[in-house]
Structures are given as structure tokens and as C-alpha cells.
Structure 1
Amino acid sequence: MKTVFDSATLGNNILKNSLVMAPMTRSRANPDGTPGDLAADYYSQRASLGLIVTEGVQPSDDGQGYIFTPGIYTQAHIDGWKKVTQAVHDKGGRIFFQLMHAGRMSHPDNTPHHRPGLAPSAIAPGTQMFTLNGMQDIPVPQAMSKVQIQQAINEFKHAARSAIEAGADGVEIHGANSYLIQQFFAPSANTRADEFGGSIENRARFAIEVAKAVSEEIGPEKTAIRLSPGTQLWGIDEGEEGPALYRYLVKELNKLDLVYLHIMHQGNEELLQDIRNDWQGTLILNRPGRVRENIGDDIHSGLADLEAYGQMVLANPDFVARLQNNVPFNEADRSSFFGGTAQGYTDYPLANLGG
């Protein structure tokens, strides 16, 4: 029976184990989008996991949503990330960059060009966002023209190429958690009447086109995607057709031979089993709120090939060793999740395992 401690093959990579660090926004980048000074330490501390997926990295000025998030579209970004990937590789780890376009989940005060976000349709998410001037309402986004849709696809391609130049082992396209790609899925955010709106096939088109473009740019063995079926965050509602959309989408993505599909699971077990059946490649499963006692269950059952963990890894750089040796986990400090210094970032204590 396979366990989380068994090695795994992922594209051209041999992973030390079947545990994955899930992507988590930390908002500690420099104002120009280059990784902060402690980023190399933060990620390399966690290189004992089989795979690290970085925080969301914007592919362009338009892709930025929050303050102090990193980019991967300028030479300065590439040079900054090289320090991170080298530090991870020096410890035998593997690292994929998550490419995240925030879409309408943005505020002009948080972006270099100070423009409203881009989205499938001009529908505000109905929530607020933190800025340097405090919490502010997110304004109505600009509905993307077909030219802007193609530009966004090209930005994903460029960011993927830049990530590989920076030393990444691959990229994970962020199609989850209410950001741009999922905004195309949801009738509550997408009321378009062209080939990118309306039917299931049309609402899935942008995600498929991005995945095709990226895989053609850097190779399918280095291209992955993350989805969160049923997520209802910040005005996203995929409606009754949501499960059918994901069944169609996964079958279409499966044709591209991407290196993995990463599912953040929201509770529809029947849909999850259908996704497992329709996806022939590696499946990473992230169940938010999973307790320690259930780590490994989805690998044991064959539902997942790899399991991803967020806050447990954030608070425990030696997550694998603690799990192997039945050592209690550090508790995550929520007050230091976003922004700040080394506190709650690179200063979580290691377990004293002797030897």
C-alpha cells in the first residue's frame, strides 16, 4: 500500500515523497514584485516535501490583486526568483510556480498602473480588499475585450517561460479560488454573449486556451492546473451546471497530458470521484481542514497520487520529519499570514529529534 512517504514521479522529476506544499499568499514581496529577502529561506526550509508550489505569482501588472505579491514577467523578477529556486534545489527539493491572474479581485491602489481589474464581465465581486489605505471596496472591473483575453493568454505564456528561466521545475496555472480563470466559469461573474460565455463549453474555453498555450510554450510535462469545484468566494457561484462544467473541463484538459491536476476539494464526493476517473495523469488533492489523523487517506485509497497541505506546512518547515516521528505540529499564527517580517514566516521552530 502506497504511503505519503513513498517517492513519486512527476513529469521529469522524482519526488522524495508524496507530500506537497500548497500555494499560499504571504504578501512579503518587494514593491517591484521581486521576491523578498527571506523568500529563499522560507521555501528552502520546506524543501523536504516532495513538491513545493509557490504562492500565486502574477503574470503581468493586470494580474496583480493584492499588495506585495510577487511577479514573474520582468528580468528583475527572474533574477530574484533564481535565488529561491537555487536554494530549494540545493536541498533536493522541487518547485513549481503558481501563475495567478487575480482578475476582478484587485484594487487600483494595489497595482503598478492603478487601473481597475480585468474580468469576463463588468461585475464587481461585492467585497472589500486590503490596501495601504486600509480596507476598500473593490470597484467594478473592466470587461475584457477579445484582444485583452488573448493578451492575458500571452501573459500566461510569457510568465511560464520566465518561470522556467528562473529555475522553476514547472508551473501551476491558478484556475481556482475566485480568480480570473474561475471567474469565466461562474455565471455570477461571466455574462458574456460571445464564445467565452453562456454555454459550459464557452465558459471553460479560457481555461483550456491558457493551458494549451502554456503547455505549448514550456511542455506539458512542466504544466499543471489547479481547480476548486464549487468554491463560493467573493461572489462566485457556478450554479447548477457547475459539476457538469468541471466534468467537461477535466476531460478536455486530460487531452493535453498536463503533468498534474490539483484539486482543492469542497465536498462533492461524487464529482471528485468522476474527476479521478476522467483524469489519467497525476492528481494532487488538497482538502482544507484535513486533520493530522487523516493525512495519507486519499493516497491509501487511490483517490489521489499526492496530497497537498497549507497551514500545517506554513507552521512546520520540518512537516515531513514531524509526521514521520509522530511529533506534535506547531500551531499556525494567523496574524502573521500576510505581510510582515521573519515572524511567522521563517522563524517557526524545528522539532528536536535528536541525533
Structure 2
Amino acid sequence: MKLFQCTNCKNTVVFENHTCVNCGYFLGYSSYYNTIVSLDTNASQWKLIDLENKTYVYCENHKHDVCNWLVETSQESEFCLACSLNRTIPQLLDEENLEKWKHIELAKHRLVYQLLQFRLPIISKIEDNQNGLCFDFLSKDDLVKASKDIKTGHANGVVTLLISEADPVVREQVKKQMAERYRTLLGHFRHEVGHYYWDQLICDDEHVLQSFRSVFGDESESYSDSLQRHYENGPKSNWQQSFISKYASSHPWEDWAETWSHYLHLTDVLETAYNFGMQTDPKITSPESLKMNASFNPYKESSFNKFMDTGIPLLYALNSMNRSMGEDDPYPFIISEPVKKKLEFIHNLLKGI
């Protein structure tokens, strides 16, 4: 994530801040200009010199304290790009639902930020029902009303997320039940949107599809049968040698979505390190494999080798720092050579190589 500053007092602020804690000015994020600007607290709309003298208001969801993105007044929608993708949100009169939805929106806005940096098409399903993307955030009441079992997942551009996932206790319980090494809201979004972009970037391009199959395998094998085998028999033997996770070994579609989410994890971490000017010079006898210098913007870097040669030492350092605080590794995965090939496929696809 990029580092941001209040344009009034130059205090460092984070992506989600609505107000500068130093000077008290309101803060608004422009997704078009990828910047945060300070706003007069005595106004409800602002003509902003920093944004080409155009007039802006907050996204409609700002009133719920879940969004700090700005909307140009000349636009028809009262919602920002990220919030315009919502098709279903929970009943907000329930304070528990509202609190969970806030956490969900924080993660989703970070996802949309990243999709914009990749210059991926972001089209609301409300505008394009066939090719668009939307999100359904369902509460326990929604599940009771439904006539079928609903789970977090993706289908035809609809990403469904059970808002119970926003409860860290529930999420940890499911993590243990599923014997998973990593489970976060942002991870869910990155995985599920990977399925959507498989449809957009690969499905209808025969050349890209054949290249995909040479790396990930034949996705035409029965998806339902593959998942049933996975849940009944467990992951493929020696899955660590070829897959980033157990679930990735279940079917090429899940392998793609898992690897896609990990590519997004790594890119985000690298951008953060780049903005902090991070580099390492390990105090060991042979430090070469752990040296790194995050001196580049990963969204603009075409060299996959540079991407990985910087990313892997960075993740090692990140894990080590967490252990110093008595916390688990934030990235408890091993990137094998076959997984690198899959990550490289995604890298080249996104860079247009």
C-alpha cells in the first residue's frame, strides 16, 4: 500500500483515515488520482485544487463510517467505485451487522485499490450483468431466509461473503476446522476475485487458455468431483512440492485462485516496502540469499526475477519480525519452483508480457 500524507499539515495518514489526528481536517481518497486530500470540516462538498478544481462529496457510505472515498458531483452515482460494487449488504439497524460490515468494507476497499493499480477492468454487475462484478455480504438472517445452503465463494461475477467471517473468533475456529494456515478477509477477497478474473482474462482467449493449462493443468476436469475427492480424501500427496496450499491441489481453478491471491499478497507487501524504502543487509556469514532492496514499484516492474528475488527475503524478514513480537508468521508458506512458474504466469499476464 502507498504511504499517504495529509495535504494540510503533511502528517502521515493511512488509507482508511477519515480525519487527520494532527490537524483535525477531514480526509478523502480519490481513486482516480490515487491520493488522499484534506477537506474543510465546515463544508459538505469541496472544490479541490489538487484534483483539477473539480467538486467532490463523500461517498454515500461515509455516513456509516465505512468509506472515505470521494465522488465527483458531476457523476450520477452517489457511491464511489468500491461501494458501487455492493449488491447486498446486511441489515444495518443491527449494530453487530454494522460493525462486521465495517471490517469487510475496509478489506474490500483495499482489494479495489489493488485492482486499480493493476489497471484491471472493474465493472459493476448492475451496469453489465453478463461481465460485471458484484458483492453479496450476507448475515445469519439472510441465510435463514435463503432456500439453499450458501457459503463464501464466487459464481458468475458474484462474490458472496458471509459476514460471520468478520468475527476473528469465528474465523479462527473455521481456520482450525479446515486445517488452514492463513485465513483473512482480504485473503478471501483476493481469492474469490481471482475466479472472476479467470473468466475475464483467460476463459475466452484460446492462446492464453492453452498457456494456462500447460502451467496449472486442465480445468475442464469435473470441478464438483475434484472438490468431493479433496474433502473426502484430503489434499494430493506431496502437495507442497507443486502447490501453494492444500486447497490449491483440489482443482486447477482453485490452484489459480490461490496462486492469484498470493501474487496479490506479495505485490501489496512489496509496494508497502517500496514506500518505506526498506532494504536488508543481514548480519550473517552468507547473507546474499536474504539481502533485498525494495527500490521499485511492483505494479510497474516487468522483471519477475527481480520481483521474487526481493519478495522472498522480504517475507522472511516479515515472518522474523512477527516472531519477535510473539506472533505467528504472517506468511506461513513455502514457494516451490512449480509455484514460482505459476506466479510468473500471473505476473506476465498482468504485465501484458
Same fold, TM exceeding 0.5?
Answer: no
Normalising by structure 1, we get a TM-score of: 0.27
Normalising by structure 2, we get a TM-score of: 0.27
Larger Rg belongs to: 2
The one of the two structures with greater contact order (alpha-carbon pairs below 8 A, sep at least 6) is 1
